[in-house]
Amino acid sequence: MKYKETDKLWYVVYTRPRWEKRVAELLTAAGIENYCPLNKVTRQWSDREKTILEPFFKSYVFVCVSESRKWDVTYIPGVVNYIHWLGKPAIIPNAEIELLKSFLDAHDKVYLQRLNIETGKKIKVTKGIFLNLEGTVVALRGKKIQIQIPTLGIALIAMDPDNVALVSA
């Protein structure tokens, strides 16, 4: 697929450990569109409990840049390199970034689980923000379903199985 020079694409950069928020700030200051998904997490200290914003993906920040500015990103302090797929920086579809943003905005208690299992049946979401989205069932656990996002190699766990239907082959 050929892209115009003005087309902006989403990529994932790998950051130094615990630099995700700082890299996002530096990218913004450099005029580079980025997205560092944050998750509310409650931490317990000896004297108090505190809710903090923690990066959802450890050492990852998403950047949206044109081909001409793609390598400018690697000069930002804290950026190690792009995440590669088949020898090239991996391109994340805009729809998946928007889906991730919507999902994290709609749910407070979300956790990440890396996928190391085979995929299963195809499903179609029948209710909620993922209406008409087709995906793959990874596992069912009580009233929760794992939804696979293949390009990121993750599963989001929070959807009620009553809100999906099997897709016929």
pLDDT digits (tens, 9 = 90+) for 55-78: 988 899 999 999 888 999 999 999
Q: Which fold has domain 112-166?
A: SH3 type barrels. (2.30.30)
DSSP H helices, 30-140, are 94-106
- Rounded-to-10 torsion of CA 64, 59, 79, 90: -50
Q: Is residue 162 over pLDDT 90?
A: no
pLDDT at residue 130 in the model: 64
pLDDT at residue 133 in the model: 67
Domain boundaries, the chain: 8-92, 112-166
pLDDT digits (tens, 9 = 90+) for 124-161: 677 666 666 677 777 666 556 677 755 555 666 666 66
Domain 8-92, CATH class in plain words: alpha beta
Give the residue, 134 or 53, on which the prediction is more confident.
53
| DSSP reduced 3-state for 34 | strand
pLDDT at residue 152 in the model: 53
pLDDT digits (tens, 9 = 90+) for 68-121: 889 999 999 999 999 987 788 989 999 999 988 988 888 776 766 543 333 466
Whether the CB-CB separation of 125 and 159 falls below 8 Å is answered with yes
- Least confident interval from 2-6, 147-151, 165-169: 2-6
pLDDT at residue 44 in the model: 85
pTM for this structure? 0.66
Q: Which of 1, 7, 12, 8 is nearest to 100 (CA)?
A: 12
